[in-house]
Structure 1
Amino acid sequence: MNSLMNLLPLLATLAALLSGPLLYGLARPRPALLAFLDGFVLVSIAGLVLLEVVPGAFGDGGPWSFAFLALGAIGPSLVEHGLQHARREAHLATLALAVLGLLLHSLADGAALTPAQGLHEGHGHAREALAIAIVVHSVPVGLMVWWVMAPVFGRTLPAATIAMMCAGTVAGYLFGLELNSVLGARAFAWFEALVAGSILHVVFGRPHLDEQSDHRDPQPPFEGLGNLAALLGLIALARLDPHAGTLQGVGAAMVLLVVAIAPALLLGYAVAGLVTALRTPPDARPSRWTRAWQMAVIGAVDASAARLLALLLCLAALDMVLSSHGVQLSAYWIGMGTIPVWPAIVLALLYLGSLLRRGGRRWLSSVVGANAHEAHVH
């Protein structure tokens, strides 16, 4: 009975990987569901890379891991811009590297599920949480493999990839400790960072949708709902994963910063609405106050939400880095005085509405530039 219980996390992980083709098959003829899953994959895979891969890679590989992460994320785009006729080959090379990385990641997942790899006595809850995190994150990983590869290569190659990932998970479960000792920690961390960047490039670029124009059009609010579902799942995983302390710290710092800055942002949106009202002729239709309301709660919010959140996220991450050296910016934010929470709640609702209207990919393109996004489409 005890051996069967030890096998349950492994079996659940394999089932999660195999669910990818089923989920994709259900979504493909349904544009709304397809948009939901597209939004879910975008946020969940990006978040899981940041949650699992990046902290470990930087911990073992040091600052050089950032160079490998950037190379994996930006390198294929540089190749594509320099060799336009070879864009498909560049995508294929990126996909191959990402698949290889996923296979190695499957080995690591299997090793983490090994009972012998369990944490010492008194940390059973941490090991259980890690097992749950591995099982849950395998769902979007399996979905991503089919999502990216099936429209371009048909069913055979993605099916073989998922089968190899399942085999890698089992091999990691059986021989993970021996395999881990063969590779040096620093070299493996650098490779892991390179692969993480490649996975982000594949997911953000969506080469699998380049030739399917009917799937490019956004389906609000379904893409935004997928983004939100993935975000909630990542928050739950961050609370369960015993290795997610860094991400939890960044999240806490970001919440403090949002609470501190929300009143000023709401005032700015109100001023934008007032300026719109003053510039609108009295006999205009819709009325000046209707336009002012639309500008304050929709126009100005949509134009700024993604950039502001990206800036706040960077500041929160900077706070975590500086706090490790004895300097904590969030202490200043807390010291700004007692700030009511309701402006932050109102701001969160406004940004939620913007996410549902626009979707995560339009948010992303507004941060990195529309040209960067369109480069993957044309």
Structure 2
Amino acid sequence: MLLLSLIMLFAGPVLYLSVPREGGAARLIDRIVVVILVLLVMLLLVPHTVHELGLWALLYLSVGYGLPGLLETLVRRAAETMHLATLSLALAGLLLHALLDGAGLAGSAYSSGPVLALAIILHRFGVGLMLWLIMQPAFGARAAWAMLIGMALVTVVGYQWSATLLPYTDTRVIQVVQAIITGTIMHSLVHRGHVHRAGGAPNAHHQH
């Protein structure tokens, strides 16, 4: 599961670069992934989270839903203004997101089973593609690849760290973390179209 999540993180950018027609194949696969994720989230993950946590689930789902939007705003602002403090904050948040993904993969064995793990793996395709479309035009390919490699390494750290601590962690803590992760996936589904529309903008800007 961990290896698959790492492969999916890089699959979006690699496919975007290797197939012509403005990354059309990567975008098509991303849309297929979105359909699968919608079914997983709405039919399995959200009902499971509400069943486990009750009404508190709505709070944790909301926290997870709001986090990616804040991070994406910070990354875009940093890309537009080259503001170092904004970029540092955004990158720290993205690494935290990767840490949560790693923890979620490890924790799926203790609570929600393979459904959350599968959702995280599929979700990573869009995360990698989003980062590439935003960062590569503004900061260059090296910076974009470095960010993706950093997220991969932090995902491994989150997985290993959580695998060590989870046997001694209260089940409710695991459920809360998984609810937040589910919220981040929900956000990616609702706002995926914005990423695709924005992907070409920086390139167009640099061409003029």
What's the TM-score bracket when you normalise by the shorter of the two chains?
A: 0.5 to 0.7
Please state how far the C-alpha of 1:39 moved relative to its aligned partner.
Answer: 0.6
Distance 1:24 1:14 in 2: 17
Q: After superposition, give the CA deviation of every residue in 1:187-244 in whole Å (9 maximum; x if it has no partner).
A: 43233323322332244324644642469xxxxxxxxxxxxxxxxxxxxxxxxxxxxx
1:27, 1:37 within 8 Å by CA — same for their partners in 2?
no
Distance 2:16 2:126 in 1: 13
- Among 24, 47, 65, the alignment partner of 2:13 is 24
Counterpart mapping for 1:196-345 below 5 A: 196-206=182-192, 208-209=195-196, 211-213=198-200
Residue 67 of structure 1 corresponds to 59
Gaps of 5+ in 2: 78-85, 136-143, 203-208
Residue 98 of structure 1 corresponds to 97
Distance 1:86 1:143 in 2: 18
Please state how far the C-alpha of 1:87 moved relative to its aligned partner.
Answer: 7.3
1:94, 1:198 within 8 Å by CA — same for their partners in 2?
no
TM-score (norm 2): 0.60
Evaluate the alpha carbon distance shift between residue 100 and residue 43 of structure 1 in structure 2; reply closer, same or farther with a 3 A threshold. Answer: farther
Gaps of 5+ in 1: 1-9, 118-129, 216-378
Structure (1 or 2) with the greater helix fraction: 2
Q: After superposition, give the CA deviation of every residue in 1:116-151 in whole Å (9 maximum; x if it has no partner).
A: x8xxxxxxxxxxxx66x6775565233233112223
Q: Say yes or no: does 1:158 pair with 2:140.
A: no
Equivalent residue pairs, number? 177
More contact order relative to length (CA 8 Å, sep ≥ 6): 2
Q: Say yes or no: does 1:36 pair with 2:43.
A: no
Residue 139 of structure 2 corresponds to none
Distance 1:190 1:65 in 2: 8
Please state how far the C-alpha of 1:60 moved relative to its aligned partner.
Answer: 2.9
TM-score (norm 1): 0.37
Distance 2:190 2:175 in 1: 22
Identity percentage of aligned residues: 19
Please state how far the C-alpha of 1:62 moved relative to its aligned partner.
Answer: 1.8
1:17, 1:143 within 8 Å by CA — same for their partners in 2?
no
Q: State which structure, 1 or 2, has the greater radius of gyration over its C-alpha atoms.
A: 1
Counterpart mapping for 1:39-118 below 5 A: 39-50=31-42, 53-74=45-66, 88=77, 92=90, 95=94, 98-109=97-108, 112=109
2:33, 2:122 within 8 Å by CA — same for their partners in 1?
yes
